[in-house]
Chains A and B, each alone.
Chain A
Amino acid sequence: MTRLSSGEVLTGILGAATLGVLALLPLADQGYYLSLAINMVLFAALCTAWTLFSGPTHYVSLATAAFYGLGTYTVGLGLDYLPFPVLVVMGGVVAAILAGLVGAATLRISGVYFVIFTFGLAELVRQIVSYTQVKLSSRMGLYVFTDFTERDIYWMLLGLTAVVFITGWLINRSRLGFAMQIIGNDETVAKHSGIDTAKLKIILFMISGAFIGIAGAIIAPRYSYVEPPGAFSPMISFLVVIMALLGGTRKLWGPLVGVIPFTIVMDIVSVRFPNDTSIVMGLAFLVIVYLLPDGITGRLEQFWAYLKKPRAAPEAAPVEERA
């Protein structure tokens, strides 16, 4: 295991401190702002998990809703029989299995075909779950009654986000992460270098899917009632993609930078313009696309590079002098 650089240690400490502060939020507010924070943390977990796969490989996955819904339904169906923590893990496992199947099936597909395939997948899973529900139990929705408060759910999601981050960081440092970088840059080169691109893509997709499933499982108790249109809503898939792209998918913390402003802006817009939410959101999107092509982190990187530029010139002079 390579030693941690001082930069990484600093980031780690900063991250832990931020986590600590965020964990205190429920003590400050139990109402509206906690609700908002839960939405933010949920999407932070989802978007970061999504970026684990779609960032390095540049494959845009719209299967988020499928994994999320499976996680929610695992809890919904099993709550009367198994304890909650077991169900959460099960949710992750079920989602990972689906991800594995999908990964194995879609090796030869890339680009936009993968996008549509994964979207079709979410709808397919939804229809199958609906149909099975109809035939087996003649009920559609499931009631999920637990004693969890909003606070508990917030902390669980916060914990999940932290785990996703740490996992992402570990992957980046490992051979898996290195291999993914090569695949992302040029898949042909990767294959010729002897990297088993297929296997690695599947593993990464499964890890990403598992986390998304766990997020879905954790959030299930919040609404007391789950039904397929809500649990498998394609909106979830789209929002995750939008926020991750907004933040920038080249860095692990990129999606975070997208989630926070997006959730806040969506919220402000919903409150100020309840009858015109769609119009304002549409305009906001267009603004984002034109002004932030690489996401916010892209702009930040540009800014950072610009700051670094002037210092390069003086360094060249001493070398010349010596020569």
Chain B
Amino acid sequence: MPTYPPTHSIQPETLTMKKLTLSLILLATAVVAQAQITITDAWVRGTVPMQQASGAFMQLSADKDTRLVAAKSPVANVVEIHEMLMDNNIMKMRQIPGLDIVPGRVLELKPGGYHVMLIELKQQLKGGDVVPITLVFEDTATKKQFTQEVQAPVTALGAGNMPMKR
């Protein structure tokens, strides 16, 4: 009566095992895989000689809940994340501990809002220079930190309030 070869009764089971194994691998990968960060329109405001500070601006997005917690750059001794706010026509600038990036939303670092503050500059930043900035992110779920570097071109001081058109 059994017309099916024995393999037929075994194969579905093997497939299930394979699927399960594959799923486990995928799941494990998903857990350890860090968020994909997309950084666009990065730029740094140029400086004059002896000027000690400037700001970097960019747009950030991520495919997982992530937090920008720090930044580093070879052009500055100190790099901080800052917030600019207007309070009754008074400009205030403050260091903030970090900025959350929510999937599907672009986090804008732009004049009048947030910026990466470059302090104790080691050199003048001239139009056309490129400033490497290493951004430190933290996966909101796992608290695991990872870095991503961005090459931010310098918009010469006085040449506008936006990334230089290339």
Question: Are A and B associated in one complex?
Answer: no
Contact residues of B with A, CB < 8 Å?
none
Contact residues of A with B, CB < 8 Å?
none
